[in-house]
Amino acid sequence: MIHSFITDLLAHPKVIETHQHMHHSISKHDHLARTARISYKLARVMRADIRICVRAAMIHDIDSRLGTLTTHGRIAAEWAAAQGESDEVCHAIETHMFPFGPKPRTREAWVVSLADKAASITDLTLMVSGMVTGHTWQRRRMLQQSDPHFVALSQRRHQRKHQRRARFAQRKSVQ
């Protein structure tokens, strides 16, 4: 049932690439899907528009790395607007980080904000329990190898390491 609201989003390249992104030591796609499932359930209880809630939840953290804790909601909302999402979906995305971002003004925005927090608690619970079994570390290593952000970070660290070694060797040869 939930997939009928987000079939087009699930096929979008930006959403597909979230399988490779790390978020709370799990794949960002897992976090987005969990938030969408919780939004679906909360929307029914809170009598909110299910379609708006589920769509906003599925894309609420798209391009989150381009912002900060307080600004990534706006960045994701701008991306959603560029994809033709409604103002209601964009508002729910922009306000999902309340109280670190703008205050939600609609039921749907409150649903997405609450669902994101519930999903994050579940993500962190899975991370901690996985630390005991070693699953978290395996998943982190796998995601770090496929996540463009971490691959670039690793390359920058490698370059800095070699630059430091070269400077050290140069100083040593001067002495």
Domain boundaries, the chain: 3-174
Q: What is the pLDDT of residue 142?
A: 76
DSSP label at 19? G
Q: What is the pLDDT of residue 41?
A: 97
CATH annotation of 3-174: 1.10.3210
- The mean per-residue pLDDT over the stretch 75-100 comes to 97
Under the banding of pLDDT at 50, 70 and 90, the label for residue 175 is low
> Residue 54 has which token pair?
């589920």
> Residue 152 has which token pair?
């670039």
Beta bridge partners of 22: 27
Q: What is the pLDDT of residue 83?
A: 96
Can you give the pTM of this predicted structure?
A: 0.79
- Taken in order 148, 3, 98, 126, is the CA torsion positive or negative? negative
- The mean per-residue pLDDT over the stretch 16-37 comes to 89
Q: What is the pLDDT of residue 47?
A: 97
Contact 22, 8 (CB under 8 A): no
SS3 content of the chain, % helix, strand, coil (to 5): 75, 0, 20
> Residue 160 has which token pair?
């800095």
Buried b vs exposed e over 138-174: b needs ≥16 C-beta within 10 Å? ebbeebeeebeebeeeeeeeeeeeeeeeeeeeeeeee
